[in-house]
Amino acid sequence: MRGTPFLVRLIYGGYRRPKFPTPGVDIAGRIEAVGRDVTDFKPGDEVLADLSEHGFGGFVEYVCVPATALVSKPATVPFEAAAAAPTSAVAALQALRDAGGLQAGEHVLINGASGGVGTFAVQIAKHLGAEVTGVCSTAKMELVRSIGADHVIDYTETDVTTAGVEYDLILDTAGSHSMSAYRRALTPTGRYVMVGGPTERFLRALILGPVLSMPGNRKFGGFNLTVNRDDLAFVTELLESGDLTPVMDRRYELREVPEAIRYVEDGRAKGTVVITSEETI
């Protein structure tokens, strides 16, 4: 969002200024109007979407969205819950299932289990039949337990890379250790997937992951979200069934977006932060 380190400007566009001036990716609301060729939706329908491939721009009262990006919101799912889920929940799903190849019965470590992607990853991993260990700070341990983690580790007390426990899959949303350090905590056929963390370390994972994967059967790599309507619909079904519950830390009004961004940037948020607009909800 700030364009730092400079390399991210080459990835997301905007050499001198942001390519997409209005931020905001996840949205949920009611349809105000539809184009003449739209047949799947009508005014008044409740929907959600991920705008990351459609110019961003979610921090507004009204947004124009391609119909192909929308998924119907179940009546039983509140707007705030629907708005909290698209990017983070789909990222957790794809990182665990696709990039990580998670199988039922495997033991997965989720580093950064109290964050936006992490809280969804804990719940989705449990839904997929895994044994889950979450890593977070002391203050957030009860939260991670409450969403289904089988084990919770306080990173201020324990270094998971030297604790002597091996995991089939490590999902890293914090980037607090190097990939070579995580090698010690993987089974001989274990996989490491980096979802978030410092940009420099994330880019290093994309570049060095294949190199570290070469000796032996362990696999290392970064992760890139693929916007996928089917996966968003699957996540929405989990929301409707109650198998997935967004952890929402704070709610801000539209005029408070700068304050909300600062709060998330400071690393204080537990789960997600939601922006509300009375015009739509």
Note the pLDDT tens digit of each residue in 108-128: 999 999 999 999 999 999 999
Phi–psi pair at 201, nearest 5 degrees:
-70, -35
Could you give the CA distance from residue 115 to residue 140 in angstroms, rounded to a whole number?
Answer: 10
Instruction: Extract the tokens encoding 270.
Output: 């537990």
Single pTM value for the model: 0.91
DSSP result, 98-167: IIS---TT-EEEEETTTSHHHHHHHHHHHHTT-EEEEEE-GGGHHHHHHTT-SEEEETTT--TTSSS--E
CA-closest candidate to residue 248, choices 83, 29, 132, 74: 83
Q: What is the pLDDT of residue 33?
A: 97
Could you give the CA distance from residue 196 to residue 48 in angstroms, rounded to a whole number?
Answer: 23
pLDDT one-digit tens code per residue, 158-187: 999 999 999 999 999 988 888 889 999 999
pLDDT at 41 over 90: yes
Residues 108, 169: contact at Cβ < 8 Å? Answer: yes
pLDDT one-digit tens code per residue, 138-158: 999 999 999 999 999 999 999
Residues 59, 23: contact at Cβ < 8 Å? Answer: yes
